[in-house]
Amino acid sequence: MSQKISHNFSLPNKLDKKALFLVLGTTLYTVARAAWPIIALMVVKREFKSWYFFAVIGVIILATFVTKLINYFYFSYQVVGDELIIKKGWLNKSTTVVKLDKIHEVNLNQKFTHKIIGLYLVNIDTAGSSSTEIEINGIDFQKALALKDVLTSSVETNQESTTILSDESQQVIIEDQPNDKIKISLISLIKIGLTRNYLQTFGLLIAFSFQIIDQLQDFFYKDDASVYDDIFEASYDQYLGLVGVAIFFGLIALVVIFNLARTLLTYYNYQINLKDKHLTASYGLTDSHIISIPANKVQMFQFQQNYFQKLMNLFEVKIKQVESNENNQKKKGLIIPGANYLELNTLFNVVFSKNLSDLKSGYKPHIRVLVIKIAILCIPAIIALTILYFTDSLLFSWVILPFFILGCLLIYMGYKNEKMVFKDDFVILKSGIWDISTTYLPIDKIQKVSISQSYFQEKRQIGSLNLYTAAGIVTLYYYDFYILQQMVNEILYKIEKNKHSWM
């Protein structure tokens, strides 16, 4: 039996009454975060009178609470026609109007504090913002789900018909309907957690370790002593080689355990609903997330796989959407961990209504790029040898050789794995050394195309191609210039012929 719940968004809607607890919580957090250094200093030095101190803190908390309370009571949202209207403020009033067809992503987030009171934070992302443009903080699950359906389904309706939505069309009915689902099992999450992000996590752990050591240095050691001296002395006493091996394997174990824990906490109970050309993903253990993405808003479809993941038939999928600027590190879109090939093809089919292409044939970059990268690698090797020579330490020059050989091997692997395919209205780029990444870029998402050629490239008829999209820039380095020219002409011809409307 289907469960039907009616929500009318054509009239101004307020936040849930339970959101008052969020107002109180954010007030205390805001005051504590801003005032903790002053509070700590006054407590340590004991240079305050208790009644005066607590009176000041009380006034600050009360003023902050009243301000946030006003924001709560004077916040409303509604959907009128093809627009989402957000009104807020009392003395300083503001109205934000967003066209529904400009919405790229709707996220329903439930942090730990939201879970306690059973409310959701709705984030609405549009093109042109480096962060979340609209936040509706404090509505229940059914209402948040209904709002998501209105915002995303209206996008689809606006594209398929020129009919303007009436106020009656904002009356939304939620009911349980059968739809295709993909669920990432716990076993798949464990496998992907054990095989992803080694270098990134290793770097974080190294930086974190140095932070801890520096804190120990400041707290336990005087200016003329160093914690590093004790570490090296202890290592020497207990055989430096064994200590080094133990530290190396210990770091590997920490990296694997950290990756596994982070993956399970972040992506626990990962499910994807595929319905009406939309992807809706829900996941999370301590913090829950529901992300809805219209298929027509997808800018790039990317998946990657390393050697271990290939043995287990697992892929990490990244569905990229609008990125406001090149320096924006928080890219909008969806990450799907642990999908097998069948699920990967299903996702691709839902987004583009096509199957994945065969990438056996394709174009390789010119061999010159391999030579240039190896030549660049020679520079630090020569500098290291020069330093050893002037410090009378050429005896240790043999240490440079294995690192140089390893660097050359990695460069060659990267060159061997790189490939470009232009097929079925897609520019497909395969690249990587350990994590082999495949990027599908639909030509109707390309906003600008440019070919660059240096003086030396011109003599050998090679060049580089830049493809500009709303999700970033895709660059093909050192490819045959004639092939790049043909690609550009065909891309422009297909865009003009099919009259694609960029989204």
Residue 153 pLDDT greater than 60, yes or no: yes
**pLDDT (tens digit, 9 = 90+) per residue, 285-343?**
888 888 888 887 788 899 999 888 888 899 999 888 765 444 444 455 788 888 889 98
**Amino acid identity for residue 142 in this structure:** Q
Residues 322 and 218 in one domain: yes
Based on the domain organization, do 226 and 337 belong to the same domain?
A: yes
Same-domain pairing of 252 and 158: no
pLDDT at residue 171, rounded to an integer: 46
459 within domain boundaries: no
Cβ–Cβ < 8 Å for 327, 120 = no
In a shared domain, residues 215 and 329: yes
The confidence score (pLDDT) of residue 204 equals 57
Residue 275 lies in a domain: yes
Using 50, 70 and 90 to split pLDDT, how confident is the model at 434? confident
The two tokens of residue 436 are 């082999």
Instruction: Give mean pLDDT, residues 372-378.
Output: 90
In a domain, 153, yes or no: yes
Query: Does 152 score more than 50 pLDDT?
Result: yes
Closest CA to 439 of 492, 475, 397: 475
Tell me the mean pLDDT in the region 125-139. 69
Quote the domain boundaries for residue 346. Answer: 177-279+295-355
- Which of these three, 307, 326, 355, is where a domain ends? 355
Largest CA distance in the chain: 85
Does any domain span residue 471? no
User: Residue 78's beta-bridge partner residues?
Assistant: 85
Looking at mean pLDDT, say which of 161-170, 271-280, 459-468 comes out highest: 459-468
Average pLDDT of 234-242?
A: 52
Q: Within 13 Å of residue 503, how many CA atoms lie on the same side as its CB?
A: 23
Report residue 243 as tokens. Answer: 């200590």
Residue 228 tokens, joined: 């590093």
Beta partners for residue 302, in sequence order? 318, 439
Q: Is the pLDDT of residue 177 over 80?
A: no
CA distance 113 to 119: 9
Helix (H, G, I), strand (E, B) or coil at 331: coil
- Among the three residues 154, 176, 198, which one is the final residue of a domain in this structure? 176
Do both 134 and 171 map to the same domain? yes
- Cα 382 from chain centroid (whole Å): 38
Task: Give 422's pLDDT tier (boundaries 50, 70, 90).
Answer: confident
Handedness of CA 262, 265, 268, 271 (dihedral sign): negative
| pLDDT confidence bin for 215, thresholds 50/70/90 | low
| Range name among 1-5, 138-142, 415-419 with the lowest pLDDT average | 1-5
Same domain membership, residue 308 and residue 239: yes
Highest mean pLDDT among 229-233, 354-358, 439-443: 439-443
Read off the pLDDT of residues 246-290 as tens digits, 9 standing for 90 and up: 766 777 777 778 878 888 888 888 988 887 677 888 888 888 888
List strand residue ranges (DSSP E) for 444-502, in order.
Answer: 448-452, 462-469, 472-480
Query: Does residue 454 form part of some domain?
Result: no
Residue type, 488: V
For residues 111 and 123, what is the distance between their CA atoms, to the nearest angstrom?
13
Q: What percent of the chain stands above pLDDT 90?
A: 5
Q: Is the pLDDT of residue 80 over 50?
A: yes
Identify whether residues 31 and 100 lie together within a single domain. yes
Dihedral sign, Cα of residue 183, residue 188, residue 190, residue 195 = negative
Give pLDDT, residue 438. Answer: 92
DSSP labels, 392-421? T-GGGGGGHHHHHHHHHHHHHHHHHH-EEE
What gap in Å lies between CA 335 and CA 418, rounded to an integer? 23
Is residue 491 in some structural domain? Answer: no
DSSP label of 329? -
Are residues 161 and 187 located together in one domain of the fold?
no
Same domain, 372 and 351: no
Question: What pLDDT is recorded for position 174?
Answer: 41
CB crowding 49-61: b at 16 or more within 10 Å, else e: eeeeeeeeeeeeb
Q: Which residues contact 12 (CB under 8 A, 6 or more apart)?
A: 76, 77, 78, 87
CA separation, residue 11 to residues 84, 168, 315, 410 (Å): 11, 11, 44, 60
Phi, then psi, of 212 in degrees rounded to 5: -65, -45
Residue 465 inside a domain? The answer is no
**Of the residues 118, 150, 176, the one at which a domain ends:** 176
What is the pLDDT at residue 27?
78
Which amino acid is residue 422, in one-letter code?
F
**CB 478, CB 456: distance < 8 Å:** no
First to last CA, the chain: 38
Q: Residue 169: its pLDDT value, please?
A: 39
Domain tally, the chain: 3
**Ranges 107-121, 248-262, 337-351: which has the least confidence:** 248-262
> Does 397 lie in the same domain as 349?
no
71 within some domain: yes
Backbone angles phi, psi at 366, to 5 degrees: -65, 145
* Predicted pLDDT at 100: 83
DSSP 8-state class, residue 363: B
Average pLDDT, the chain: 76
Claim to verify: residue 300 and residue 263 sit in the same structural domain? yes
Give dist(CA 90, CA 67) in Å, integer.
Answer: 10
pLDDT given for residue 20 in this prediction: 83
Q: pLDDT tier at 439 (50, 70, 90 boundaries)?
A: very high
CATH number, residue 72: 2.30.29.30
Q: Are residues 112 and 195 in the same domain?
A: no
Quick check: helix, strand or coil at residue 481?
Answer: helix
